[in-house]
Amino acid sequence: MNIPQNFEKIDGVKFDLNGNGYRIEADNIEIGDAWVYCDNHMADNFWPLCFDIDWQNGRYDLIKCQPGMGRDGTILATGVPLIKHLVRDMDSFINTFLKDTVRTVITHKSI
């Protein structure tokens, strides 16, 4: 699986989930990592999530990162298979893959 064309377009995209605003930042565009931050400053307990994506092998790691500490943090999942139809375009990537993963992490109180 290759990194989707125009992956950088997800950078700065905002979405709402459970009444909180979130934003996505694309990192290492040539590699294709994505970060999700909570824009609600009242949600101090929401640490940024790093989706460390290995597009070539079709897998990702999910890391809960302490603000300001880069990728250092708690690894929530490793080697999770990417489901091709969930990451085929920007809309699917955000509305199906990222939102559903963030919702699952919140529901399981992993953050």
- Written as one string, the DSSP assignment of 16-65 is EETTEEEEEEEESTTT-EEEEEE--TT-TT---EEEEEETTTTEEEEEEE
Give 29's pLDDT tier (boundaries 50, 70, 90): low
pLDDT tens string 58-109: 899 999 988 888 888 899 999 999 888 777 788 888 888 888 998 888 887 6
Question: What pTM does this model have?
Answer: 0.84
For residue 17, pLDDT beyond 80: yes
Give 14's pLDDT tier (boundaries 50, 70, 90): very high
Backbone angles phi, psi at 108, to 5 degrees: -85, 10
